Amino acid sequence: MRNIFLFIRRYFNLLFFIFLQGISIYLIVHYSRYHKAMFGNFMNQVTGKVNEQYSQVDHYFRLKKTNDSLMAANEKLYNKLRSDFDLPDTTSRSVIDTIRVDSLEQFRKYQYLKAKVVANSVVSQNNFIVIGRGSSGQLKEGMGVIDPNNGVVGIITDLSKDYAVVMSLLHTDSHISGKLLHGGETGTLSWDGKTPNIISLTGIPKSAKVARGDTIITSGFSTSFPRGKMIGIVEEVIPEKSTNNFRIKFKSTANFYNLDFVFVIDNRQAEPIGKLLDQVKKQGQ
């Protein structure tokens, strides 16, 4: 309290001047229509600017909630794609569906499960991604992972009850199948451990018509990814001297520097296909 009185005493003249100035401004604005209109316009502009800044700050702190809602909406939309259902041939007979539940669910081939990225590495030669969903969330080893832009991220290699480890495309042991969108030629993806987001596609014959800007997609030859998921865009086509193939360098669709959310692809037919392949292997032994 003593400091307050000392402050008032020291700056009494200045405070008294500000007080009188305020009274003068009030009287001018109150009794003059012109000044009242000008002051009202000025205050409206100031209020509008303050509200705009407040709205931007509030929007920033609500981004997490907005992202969560968008991921949930994308998950629902992914799971309604016609290409993710293996529908039977109905040309030979007509069936009247009288069931009120979604009877298409029995024909579903792929289901998309959203997950939050909790850890990610891009600087080592063997990079992994950890997502906040595990076996309790319907995840299994071998499931493919894509980003919200439909770009391939990697494949689940290990998991616990609440978390899963994804082998990133930026891993020297990652070798998934890739396909040229226009020509249809299929090769194998590999990363040399040097430049993040730049990956190679090998095994493409020199007879293939490929140029910079072409698209590389998943081939659909594995149970991890359906055909047609974006992998990357061709940056450089290099003829290999020792073979009749190209080495194609491309930029990955997924931005591994900025992964917040991903979708895990559950192939409903993966288990029966795996059992059938195991039977064939046992018979061949």
User: 18 or 250, which is more confident?
Assistant: 250
Band (94; pLDDT cuts 50, 70, 90): very low
Question: How far apart are alpha carbons 239 and 205 in whole angstroms?
Answer: 9
Question: How far apart are alpha carbons 6 and 27 in whole angstroms?
Answer: 31
Per-residue model confidence (pLDDT) at position 155: 94
Band (34; pLDDT cuts 50, 70, 90): low
Query: Between β-strands 198-205 and 164-171, what pairing exists: parallel, antiparallel or unpaired?
Result: unpaired
Specify burial of residue 255 (Cβ count, 10 A radius: 0-12, 13-18, 19+): middle
Amino acid in the structure at residue 177: S
Contact (CB, 8 A) for 225 and 278: no
State the DSSP string of 91-158. SS-------SS-GGGGGB-EEEEEEEEEEE--SSSEEEEEES--GGGT--TT-EEE-TTSBEEEEEEE
- Mean pLDDT, to the nearest integer, of 18-33? 76
pLDDT tens string 165-204: 999 999 999 989 999 998 889 999 999 888 888 999 999 9
The first and second tokens of residue 259, run together, are: 């992964």
The CA-CA-CA angle for residues 123, 127, 128, to 5°, reads: 135
Per-residue model confidence (pLDDT) at position 170: 93
Instruction: Report how far Cα 184 is from the mean position of its chain's Cα atoms.
Output: 26
